[in-house]
Chain A
Amino acid sequence: MLTYLSLHLNKWKKRPFLSLLLFCFPLLATLLLYPVFENTAEETAVPIAIVDEDNSDYSETILERTRGAERLRFTEMEAGEAEDAVRKGTMEAAFILEDGLQEALNDGDVRDVVTWVRSDEALFDVYAKEAIGAEVMRLALNAKAANAIDEDFDEAFAYSDSFWEPAPLFQMDFTERSPDNPDVEVPKLAAWHVMAIQLFFLYGWVLGIFFLRELIADEKEGRLQRIRLIQQTTVRYFASHFVLFCLVGAGSFLLGLGALFYLADITQVLVQAWLVRSLIVFAITLLVTWCLFMGTGRKRWMVPVLVLLALASFLLTVTSTGITGIWPHSWLVGRGGLG
């Protein structure tokens, strides 16, 4: 095994840049493109204009808290500017925190404190409405509670607000489960993370397939015959090359996966789930690929056929075309709800 490993390392050393680039491509692509994709994902968030007419502590609090909302991108504007933006379609909606908001909320009145300006095409601004509404209600309830007792208002307000941290009191704790496997809690990745993993899987698989060309060349150019004569058998040659085939494919895939998980700051549970699943699916895929290659007599035409199979697996899974369950890419993301 080590003899063949050192042989291939020596060969790769002759073209170190190309070899490293090919092997580490998923890793490098992740490191270079992750910030771009992350920004793109942010840019695809629903654009919402928010206008602070009240300029009070409460309106400031609302602005601050809504800033971190997922899938929503709040931009502070003047009222006229915000209405223009909604009209032009650059903002899906605008929310105006009306003058007198703090005063009204302190009186426990939540009517007419926020104005919602939306275009006819707006779809997803309801999420923004929910987010702002929740913050307004929180302030109103805190104020109402503080007004109800004869203590210091600020102290009572802060005490009431403490029930909202770290999560609001009486908040439902939903647990998502897969319909296929109700016993397993569904860990989730962002859609573009899953797509990246599928691409790394395709790349690792194809890289492994290209490595198989070494076996074809060894046979065609008489080296396998020489090995058979020297070693008496070719079992060790094929066993070693199977291990190297797996190392090349899975190594490249795992480098990309590792970089993605590191940059995405994903939970330990999710990392473990993906790693275990990916390794099992990759091992099965490589074993099947190897058996197909060896079973058809290690023919040259088998390499493009296997590459086409890998591409079909990726494309048909991603586009959900045909019987997707037969493809390794669907095993990777389909069952168990990992996707």
Chain B
Amino acid sequence: MIHLDNVSKTYRSKEVLEPFTLTIREGSSVGIIGPNGAGKSTFLKLVASLDKPTSGKLSFDGKPYGKVVRRLRTEIGYVPQDIALYEELTVKEQIAFWRKLEKKKVDEDFLQKMIRMLRLDEVYSQRVDQLSGGWRRKVNLCVGLMRNPRICLLDEPTAGVDLAAKEDILAWLKQLHQEGRTLLYISHDWYELKKLSDEFLLFAERKPIFQGSQREWSEKRSTLIDRYGADQDLRRILEFS
């Protein structure tokens, strides 16, 4: 579905992603993990077409990004790590505003279902800046996915969220995956990743160093520790898995 061929990214002569090649299958749920600064968020932005690679090519359904970027953007739902919302607005106003911006008609049934699943109707008339971190994350998620996307790109959607809110978010994402959507999901929490992902993507040293199923992960884990164990942060991630 999405193929990255020898893709790299450099910001002001600093290489943040070394050249790598990988493929994301349609309908897969890929859990992305790795130490800070390993290039996970940059990778997600490249896939979302929010950034351009310094070298290499990306393709979507077999066609280069440059030719299908408009269609691709209608198929993608991106949830950034930042709470990218107008915080002075109420949840209701927030959803209304972003819905108006959408080029294609928002699937009202899908949106209402998401609002119910995330229990946003409980805080509908409250201002976003008066909500707790968990609620804000949920609103951020709702706005990012309100277009009923085919591909969901999620950058730490549960960071700083309490357990109850986390369960709501995970249940909703699980449902999206079960309905056939493709999920790319960055997290530092193995519990979430194992619950949600059928595939792991491990980033280290500015490139993906592992991509495979949970079973493959279990098989290669000790090899990875031997090979990359010198990096303390990475070692901890591998040991905690």
> Given the complex, which residues of B lie within 8 Å of A228, measured CB to CB?
50
Task: Determine chain B's interface SS by DSSP, over half rule.
Answer: loop
B143 near A: Cβ within 8 Å? Answer: yes
Q: A14 near B84 (CB under 8 angstroms)?
A: no
Q: A231 near B82 (CB under 8 angstroms)?
A: no
Interface string of A207-228 (1 = CB under 8 A from B): 0000000000000011101111
> Given the complex, which residues of A lie within 8 Å of B89, measured CB to CB?
7, 10-11, 14
Contact check: which of A7, A10, A222, A229 meets B82 at CB < 8 Å? Answer: A222
Q: A3 near B97 (CB under 8 angstroms)?
A: yes
- Which positions 231-266 of chain A face chain B at CB distance < 8 Å? 231-232
Q: Known interface pairs A3-B101, A222-B82, A225-B80. Does A230 touch B93 (Cβ–Cβ under 8 Å)?
A: no
Q: A225 near B84 (CB under 8 angstroms)?
A: yes
Q: A222 near B80 (CB under 8 angstroms)?
A: yes
> Given the complex, which residues of A lie within 8 Å of B9, measured CB to CB?
none
- Which positions 1-32 of chain A face chain B at CB distance < 8 Å? 3, 6-7, 10-11, 14
> Given the complex, which residues of B lie within 8 Å of A229, measured CB to CB?
48-50, 73, 76, 78
B144 near A: Cβ within 8 Å? Answer: yes
Q: How many residues of A contact B (CB 8 A)?
A: 17
> Given the complex, which residues of B lie within 8 Å of A223, measured CB to CB?
84-86
In the A-B complex, the 3 residue pairs with the closest CB atoms: A222-B84, A222-B82, A222-B80
Interface string of B70-103 (1 = CB under 8 A from A): 1001001010111111101100010001101111
Instruction: Report B136 CB to chain A, min CB distance, Å.
Output: 12
Q: Known interface pairs A3-B97, A225-B50, A225-B80. Does A232 touch B70 (Cβ–Cβ under 8 Å)?
A: yes
Q: Known interface pairs A14-B127, A232-B70, A232-B73. Does A226 touch B88 (Cβ–Cβ under 8 Å)?
A: no
Most buried by B among A7, A221, A226, A230: A230
Contact check: which of B80, B81, B85, B147 meets A230 at CB < 8 Å? Answer: B147
- Which positions 144-196 of chain A face chain B at CB distance < 8 Å? none
Interchain residue pairs with CB less than 8 A apart (30): A3-B97, A3-B100, A7-B86, A7-B89, A7-B97, A10-B88, A10-B89, A11-B86, A11-B88, A11-B89, A14-B88, A14-B89, A14-B127, A221-B83, A222-B84, A225-B50, A225-B84, A226-B98, A228-B50, A229-B49, A229-B50, A229-B76, A229-B78, A230-B73, A230-B98, A230-B101, A230-B102, A230-B103, A232-B73, A232-B103
> Given the complex, which residues of B lie within 8 Å of A10, measured CB to CB?
88-89, 93, 97
Known contacts A7-B86, A226-B144, A230-B101; 9 further A-B pairs (Cβ under 8 A): A3-B101, A6-B97, A7-B97, A223-B85, A225-B78, A225-B80, A228-B50, A229-B73, A230-B73
Query: What is the bound-complex CA distance between A222 and B97, given in angstroms?
Result: 16
Most buried by B among A11, A231, A232: A232
> Given the complex, which residues of B lie within 8 Å of A231, measured CB to CB?
101, 103
Q: Taking beta carbons and an 8 Å cutoff, which residues of B are in contact with A?
A: 48-50, 70, 73, 76, 78, 80-86, 88-89, 93, 97-98, 100-103, 127, 143-144, 147
> Given the complex, which residues of A lie within 8 Å of B84, measured CB to CB?
221-223, 225-226
> Given the complex, which residues of B lie within 8 Å of A6, measured CB to CB?
97
Task: Determine chain A's interface SS by DSSP, over half rule.
Answer: helix
> Given the complex, which residues of B lie within 8 Å of A11, measured CB to CB?
86, 88-89
**Residue on B nearest A7 in the bound complex, by CB:** B97
Q: Taking beta carbons and an 8 Å cutoff, which residues of A are in contact with B?
A: 3, 6-7, 10-11, 14, 221-223, 225-232
Query: What is the bound-complex CA distance between A229 and B84, given in angstroms?
Result: 12
> Given the complex, which residues of B lie within 8 Å of A222, measured CB to CB?
80-84
Query: What is the bound-complex CA distance between A226 and B153, given in angstroms?
Result: 12
Query: What is the bound-complex CA distance between A223 and B84, given in angstroms?
Result: 5
> Given the complex, which residues of A lie within 8 Å of B144, measured CB to CB?
226
Query: What is the bound-complex CA distance between A10 and B94, given in angstroms?
Result: 10
Query: What is the bound-complex CA distance between A217 and B73, given in angstroms?
Result: 23
Most buried by B among A3, A226, A232: A226
Query: What is the bound-complex CA distance between A10 and B97, given in angstroms?
Result: 10
**Residue on B nearest A230 in the bound complex, by CB:** B101
Query: What is the bound-complex CA distance between A3 and B86, given in angstroms?
Result: 13
Query: What is the bound-complex CA distance between A3 and B70, given in angstroms?
Result: 22
Instruction: Report A304 CB to chain B, min CB distance, Å.
Output: 23
**Residue on B nearest A217 in the bound complex, by CB:** B86
> Given the complex, which residues of B lie within 8 Å of A7, measured CB to CB?
86, 89, 97
> Given the complex, which residues of A lie within 8 Å of B49, measured CB to CB?
229
Query: What is the bound-complex CA distance between A7 and B147, given in angstroms?
Result: 20
Query: What is the bound-complex CA distance between A222 and B83, given in angstroms?
Result: 8
> Given the complex, which residues of A lie within 8 Å of B98, measured CB to CB?
226, 230
Instruction: Report A12 CB to chain B, min CB distance, Å.
Output: 9
**Residue on B nearest A225 in the bound complex, by CB:** B50
Q: A227 near B101 (CB under 8 angstroms)?
A: yes
Instruction: Report A2 CB to chain B, min CB distance, Å.
Output: 9
Query: What is the bound-complex CA distance between A11 and B82, given in angstroms?
Result: 20
Instruction: Report A324 CB to chain B, min CB distance, Å.
Output: 41
**Residue on B nearest A223 in the bound complex, by CB:** B84
Query: What is the bound-complex CA distance between A24 and B127, given in angstroms?
Result: 26
Instruction: Report B177 CB to chain A, min CB distance, Å.
Output: 21
Query: What is the bound-complex CA distance between A222 and B89, given in angstroms?
Result: 16
